[in-house]
Chain A
Amino acid sequence: AQSVTQPDIHITVSEGASLELRCNYSYGATPYLFWYVQSPGQGLQLLLKYFSGDTLVQGIKGFEAEFKRSQSSFNLRKPSVHWSDAAEYFCAMTNTNAGKSTFGDGTTLTVKP
């Protein structure tokens, strides 16, 4: 069975500091991986996705993520966090067959001034 784990429920960083949100997946093959962001009262917005090729992918709003097959991870990073980045972040995967999505529990990001 496929699964996605986001080990950190809540992370607090200072504005201007770097950020890394962790995501681990469990799947028998290479999955398709996504990061979404959800602001309060809003739906999910796609930040970036990885299907194949270069393992470092760039997304919107200055985010990037790196796929590491050996660690079954797809961690999200940003070099300098802005107050507007405060939100909930979801890692998700789809399998290569049916396309059924599995989401992690989410990580809530708080940004300190």
Chain B
Amino acid sequence: ETGVTQTPRHLVMGMTNKKSLKCEQHLGHNAMYWYKQSAKKPLELMFVYNFKEQTENNSVPSRFSPECPNSSHLFLHLHTLQPEDSALYLCASSQNTGGTDTQYFGPGTRLTVL
């Protein structure tokens, strides 16, 4: 499999549930990203990892907990979410985190919080 894959593609959860989103990149990149895409809002960067180390946390609530065990895998652990957290969560990767490094996006996980 090539590119950036995300599972699951759709997720419905209650506010008391705990779930995880998974992202895997097969491009040999060193950097991985989580974005949130809500309706009628610009793409919001949530977290950046470079060589497994978190380099950016864009003031994301603690109910979102990222994990990057290696440069190919990125997880987003979810707990005690709110309905306003319903959105498309996109994962991306790039060779490094330089300005010229193109980001390659996965298809996203459509999350609905009831």
- Chain A residues with a Cβ under 8 A of chain B: 31-32, 34, 36, 41-46, 49, 51, 90, 92, 94-101, 103-106
- A residues less than 8 Å from B97 (CB atoms): 98-99
* Inter-subunit contact B98/A90 (CB<8 Å): no
* Inter-subunit contact B90/A43 (CB<8 Å): yes
* Inter-subunit contact B90/A44 (CB<8 Å): yes
Q: Roughly how many angstroms separate A97 CA and B97 CA in the complex, as a whole number?
A: 10
CB of B93 to closest CB in A, whole Å: 11
* Inter-subunit contact B105/A44 (CB<8 Å): yes
* Inter-subunit contact A41/B107 (CB<8 Å): yes
Q: How large is the interface on B (under 10, 10 to 19, 20 to 34, 35 or more residues)?
A: 20 to 34
Asked if B110 is an interface residue, CB under 8 A from chain A, the answer is: yes
* Inter-subunit contact A101/B103 (CB<8 Å): yes
Q: Chain B, 43-77, contact with A by CB distance < 8 Å: what is the 0/1 string?
A: 10100100000001000000000000000000000
A94-B107 in contact given A43-B4, A100-B56 (Cβ < 8 Å)? no
- Chain B residues with a Cβ under 8 A of chain A: 4, 6, 41-43, 45, 48, 56, 90, 92, 96-108, 110
One of A41, A90, A98 near B43 (C-beta < 8 A): A90
CB of A6 to closest CB in B, whole Å: 9
Q: Roughly how many angstroms separate A104 CA and B107 CA in the complex, as a whole number?
A: 19
A99-B99 in contact given A43-B90, A90-B43 (Cβ < 8 Å)? yes
* Inter-subunit contact B99/A32 (CB<8 Å): yes
Q: Roughly how many angstroms separate A97 CA and B98 CA in the complex, as a whole number?
A: 7
Q: Roughly how many angstroms separate A9 CA and B12 CA in the complex, as a whole number?
A: 29
* Inter-subunit contact A99/B90 (CB<8 Å): no
Q: What are 16 residue pairs bridging A and B, where the CB atoms are less than 8 Å apart in the complex?
A: A36-B105, A42-B108, A43-B106, A46-B104, A90-B43, A96-B99, A98-B97, A99-B96, A99-B98, A99-B99, A100-B45, A100-B48, A100-B56, A101-B103, A103-B42, A105-B41
